[in-house]
Chains A and B, each alone.
Chain A
Amino acid sequence: MATQVVMPKLSPTMEEGQLSRWLKKEGDKVSMGEPLAEIDTDKATMEMQALSNGVLRKILINEGDSAPLGQPIAIIGEPDEDISELLKSAQTAKSAKVDAAPAKLPESEAAPPVETASPAKDRDQVRPSIAPVSGDGQRAAEAAPGGRVLISPIAARMAADAGIDLNSLRGSGPSGRIIKRDVEEAISGRGKQTAPRLRVVTPMRTGKPVSFEPSAYRDEPLSEMRRTIARRLVTSLGPVPHFFLTTEIDMERAADLRRSLNEIDPELKVSINDVVIKVAAAALMQHPQVNASFQEKTVRYYEHADIGVAVATDNGLITPIIRSADVKSLSEIAVEARELATRARARKLKPEEYTGATFSISNLGMFGIDEFTAVINPPEGAILAIGAMSPKPVARDNQVVIRQTMRVTMSCDHRVVDGAIGAQFLQTFKKILENPLYLFV
């Protein structure tokens, strides 16, 4: 019995997925549990497994296309089975979903499905397009029957490298195939277009005013990750009533602690951020009202501190979670933080590893940022923004001394955390960080 493969829900917050890579071709045998495709979700690239045995009869969406949850993306069946009924219902499902929510699939509808060979290295499906140049540059791609753009592999690669929109090319090969020569001509044609600009610059010597045209630009389709970040941030800074608390912390003892630990055991490689995580977790245990979440009708108080640690990746920001940081040792936190960051950058995090923190920490100190305000990850109650640690002159016992100093800013959800509550937490956090021995008492 042939079955439709539909876009699966691979993460709790996933609403649609982008087909990153098919792992099987039409005609391949497939068995239950075998990986079928790699799907870009809002946070990571996940493997989708086949749920039935048979042969992959038809692929319904191409690499790079997006589909909402539940949309049919392939058909698995016996090699000689009649799948026409399933195909028909798949087509209607697709067009129904498109009519119902046109805003949901802007990327896959904007450019007609392109039969290209993406170069093996370029899996990120960035299809750059330049602003159409005025004049003779505008020539629509001659669509082959069925609306596909035919293009030879080398021409596709040259066009991608040069940032040329395939829709602006006319193919001179058989059936309108875009070939190397067409792309070469487009590139040299572009060269002719930009040359006059140089002539505009030289009048400067004669004192005549120079006018520059508005900057050229390119549009890149949003990756799933970027789209999700955008969506979530808008549900944070807008609806969540933020307020911000800043304090400056004397980091001498914390820095000493770190240095000593790493001297004792060079394998530990504890960082200041690891110390911050540990101290924050300890402080949260003393101030459970901050380790909380606004849940519309209730406030949820967590028993443990599951701390999300912000990691910058090529694709965007993601916060892998260190669960129960309050009971973990500093070395355990250090190892785990490193491991999670590595996997985050390789897009290999599982959904349960980045959803459901109780508190988050973001550190831009390594970029030389003195202080900043972070946006809360809903539905958490607060987030701590860590700035750079640097030696500063401070007053101690009526004397001016140089101390390693760090500024932190806490963003609080006023629906859960009041000013005083947040301030008291920050006071404890500062006390422990300035005197790490407090971790033992």
Chain B
Amino acid sequence: MAVMTMRDALNQALSEELARDENVFLMGEEVAEYQGAYKVTRGLLEKYGPKRVIDTPITELGFAGLGVGAAMAGLRPIVEFMTFNFSILATDQIINSAAKMLYMSAGQFKIPIVFRGPGGSAYQVSSQHSQALESWYAYFPGLKVVMPSTPADAKGLLKSAIRDDDPVIFIEQERMYGMKGEVPEDVDFTIPLGLGEVKREGSDATIIARSLMVPIALQAADELDKQGVSCEVIDPRTIRPLDIETIVKSVEKTNRVVIAEESHPFCSVAAEISAQITERAFDYLDAPVKRVSGADVPMPYAKNLEKLAIPGVEQLVAAVREVSYL
């Protein structure tokens, strides 16, 4: 076990997988010479050379399509989007090619591609650069969507994503790149996709959170503990396929749920989880499922407004108290 930042954990995962399988290669804007816009790919060009770590022009649709073609030809590309906001341009290749090629070719072409990069809010990067797109991508059969919230999860999940034969959307969080945590050093340490984790056990209420919201949920749980409410915090880790069983088991125990996310509320991942909870655990609910989502507005630029647009500890505490009738 070593303590490292999420950035370094991701770097280790990439490096180990590049070493393990010569078909794995990495491409994106500034990933090679510049060492990565957020330094996640630091040192990789030097270690593995220009055939394995490739700088692309600023053409997301182009290099996403290139990646799909490379995958069809037998390689295992990792395509970095500087942020997932820029992936919007590439969605035709992601959705119509990567997601559907296995199905439409009757299994002849597998697409073991990983599209990775930071998503969601950052620091005052405003409306076009703060979007959380996981519910967009989770909508499509054929894609897997993964969102780590700790350095260990980031490393284990990224390695699994790279080894997975399906296209994986791997959404990191810029604000969390500097977060420190314990990470196993075994080169074969992986975390299976589709498996959630109980980040904190509790008995009175369940908080479901992902990515940026996980540390906030844990802080809210500490605060609520002082107020006599014991919270269980669940991080699904993989959005699609969703580990609904872990969630349902928790709801059966606590009878009340709050789902926290920084994305907009309409058609969000929380909406999907809420629907599934109602379908599977209706008889265990003492209160309606409560969602705490980001504000339903384009992300403001102003610092104070940006803060208000993203759920914080106070909002989560209030939500848990509400479903607890306190």
- Decide yes or no: A152 and B282 within 8 Å by CB, A173-B325, A180-B255 being known contacts: no
Q: In the complex, which residues of chain B have a beta carbon less than 8 angstroms from the beta carbon of A173? A: 287, 325
B285 at interface, CB cutoff 8 A: yes
> Interface digits, A172-186 against B, CB 8 Å rule (1 contact, 0 not)?
110000011100000
Say whether A157 contacts B287, CB under 8 Å.
Answer: no
Q: In the complex, which residues of chain A have a beta carbon less than 8 angstroms from the beta carbon of B286? A: 152-155, 179-180
Q: Which of A93-128 contact B (CB under 8 A)?
A: 117, 119-120
Q: In the complex, which residues of chain B have a beta carbon less than 8 angstroms from the beta carbon of A172? A: 325
Further 14 A-B residue pairs, CB within 8 A, beyond A117-B283, A155-B286: A117-B282, A120-B283, A152-B285, A152-B286, A153-B282, A153-B285, A153-B286, A154-B283, A154-B285, A157-B283, A172-B325, A173-B325, A179-B325, A180-B255
Q: Which of B259-309 contact A (CB under 8 A)?
A: 282-287
Interface residues in chain B, defined as those with a beta carbon under 8 Å from any beta carbon in chain A = 255, 282-287, 325
Interface residues in chain A, defined as those with a beta carbon under 8 Å from any beta carbon in chain B = 117, 119-120, 152-155, 157, 172-173, 179-181
Say whether A179 contacts B283, CB under 8 Å.
Answer: no
Roughly how many angstroms separate A405 CA and B111 CA in the complex, as a whole number?
A: 80
- Distance in angstroms from A317 CB to nearest chain B CB is 33
Roughly how many angstroms separate A288 CA and B286 CA in the complex, as a whole number?
A: 65
Q: In the complex, which residues of chain B have a beta carbon less than 8 angstroms from the beta carbon of A120? A: 283
- Provide a sorted-by-A list of 8 A–B residue pairs whose CB atoms are within 8 angstroms: A153-B283, A153-B284, A153-B285, A154-B283, A154-B285, A172-B325, A173-B287, A180-B286
Say whether A154 contacts B284, CB under 8 Å.
Answer: yes
Q: In the complex, which residues of chain B have a beta carbon less than 8 angstroms from the beta carbon of A117? A: 282-283
Say whether B325 contacts A119, CB under 8 Å.
Answer: no
Roughly how many angstroms separate A119 CA and B284 CA in the complex, as a whole number?
A: 10
Pick the 5 closest A-B CB pairs, nearest first: A180-B286, A152-B286, A153-B283, A154-B286, A154-B255
Q: In the complex, which residues of chain A have a beta carbon less than 8 angstroms from the beta carbon of B325? A: 172-173, 179, 181
Beta-carbon nearest neighbor of A183 in chain B: B286
Say whether A179 contacts B287, CB under 8 Å.
Answer: yes
- Distance in angstroms from B288 CB to nearest chain A CB is 9
Q: In the complex, which residues of chain B have a beta carbon less than 8 angstroms from the beta carbon of A157? A: 283
Q: In the complex, which residues of chain A have a beta carbon less than 8 angstroms from the beta carbon of B283? A: 117, 119-120, 153-154, 157
Beta-carbon nearest neighbor of A180 in chain B: B286
Q: In the complex, which residues of chain A have a beta carbon less than 8 angstroms from the beta carbon of B282? A: 117, 153
Roughly how many angstroms separate A397 CA and B255 CA in the complex, as a whole number?
A: 77
Beta-carbon nearest neighbor of A182 in chain B: B325
- Distance in angstroms from B255 CB to nearest chain A CB is 5
Roughly how many angstroms separate A373 CA and B289 CA in the complex, as a whole number?
A: 59
Roughly how many angstroms separate A117 CA and B284 CA in the complex, as a whole number?
A: 10
- Distance in angstroms from A161 CB to nearest chain B CB is 11
Q: In the complex, which residues of chain B have a beta carbon less than 8 angstroms from the beta carbon of A153? A: 282-286
- Distance in angstroms from B76 CB to nearest chain A CB is 46
Roughly how many angstroms separate A180 CA and B283 CA in the complex, as a whole number?
A: 12
- Distance in angstroms from B148 CB to nearest chain A CB is 33
**Most B Cβ at <10 Å: residue of A117, A152, A181:** A152
Q: In the complex, which residues of chain A have a beta carbon less than 8 angstroms from the beta carbon of B287? A: 152, 173, 179
Beta-carbon nearest neighbor of A118 in chain B: B283
Q: In the complex, which residues of chain A have a beta carbon less than 8 angstroms from the beta carbon of B284? A: 153-154
- Distance in angstroms from B91 CB to nearest chain A CB is 33
Roughly how many angstroms separate A119 CA and B283 CA in the complex, as a whole number?
A: 7
Q: In the complex, which residues of chain A have a beta carbon less than 8 angstroms from the beta carbon of B285? A: 152-154
Roughly how many angstroms separate A172 CA and B326 CA in the complex, as a whole number?
A: 10
Beta-carbon nearest neighbor of A155 in chain B: B286
**Most A Cβ at <10 Å: residue of B285, B286, B287:** B286
- Distance in angstroms from B50 CB to nearest chain A CB is 60
Roughly how many angstroms separate A124 CA and B325 CA in the complex, as a whole number?
A: 32
Roughly how many angstroms separate A58 CA and B255 CA in the complex, as a whole number?
A: 31
Beta-carbon nearest neighbor of B278 in chain A: A153
Q: In the complex, which residues of chain A have a beta carbon less than 8 angstroms from the beta carbon of B255? A: 154, 180
- Distance in angstroms from A298 CB to nearest chain B CB is 57
Roughly how many angstroms separate A427 CA and B325 CA in the complex, as a whole number?
A: 75
Beta-carbon nearest neighbor of B251 in chain A: A154
Beta-carbon nearest neighbor of B284 in chain A: A154
Beta-carbon nearest neighbor of B252 in chain A: A154
Beta-carbon nearest neighbor of B288 in chain A: A152
Roughly how many angstroms separate A153 CA and B284 CA in the complex, as a whole number?
A: 6
Roughly how many angstroms separate A180 CA and B284 CA in the complex, as a whole number?
A: 10
Roughly how many angstroms separate A2 CA and B211 CA in the complex, as a whole number?
A: 51
Roughly how many angstroms separate A181 CA and B283 CA in the complex, as a whole number?
A: 15
- Distance in angstroms from B23 CB to nearest chain A CB is 49
- Distance in angstroms from B320 CB to nearest chain A CB is 15
Beta-carbon nearest neighbor of A173 in chain B: B325
Roughly how many angstroms separate A154 CA and B252 CA in the complex, as a whole number?
A: 9
- Distance in angstroms from B16 CB to nearest chain A CB is 46
- Distance in angstroms from A363 CB to nearest chain B CB is 41
**Most B Cβ at <10 Å: residue of A119, A154, A179, A181:** A154
- Distance in angstroms from B146 CB to nearest chain A CB is 32
- Distance in angstroms from A331 CB to nearest chain B CB is 47
Beta-carbon nearest neighbor of A152 in chain B: B286
Roughly how many angstroms separate A152 CA and B282 CA in the complex, as a whole number?
A: 9
Roughly how many angstroms separate A23 CA and B227 CA in the complex, as a whole number?
A: 45
Roughly how many angstroms separate A179 CA and B284 CA in the complex, as a whole number?
A: 11
- Distance in angstroms from A328 CB to nearest chain B CB is 48
Roughly how many angstroms separate A157 CA and B286 CA in the complex, as a whole number?
A: 10
Roughly how many angstroms separate A117 CA and B278 CA in the complex, as a whole number?
A: 12
Roughly how many angstroms separate A153 CA and B285 CA in the complex, as a whole number?
A: 6
- Distance in angstroms from B254 CB to nearest chain A CB is 10
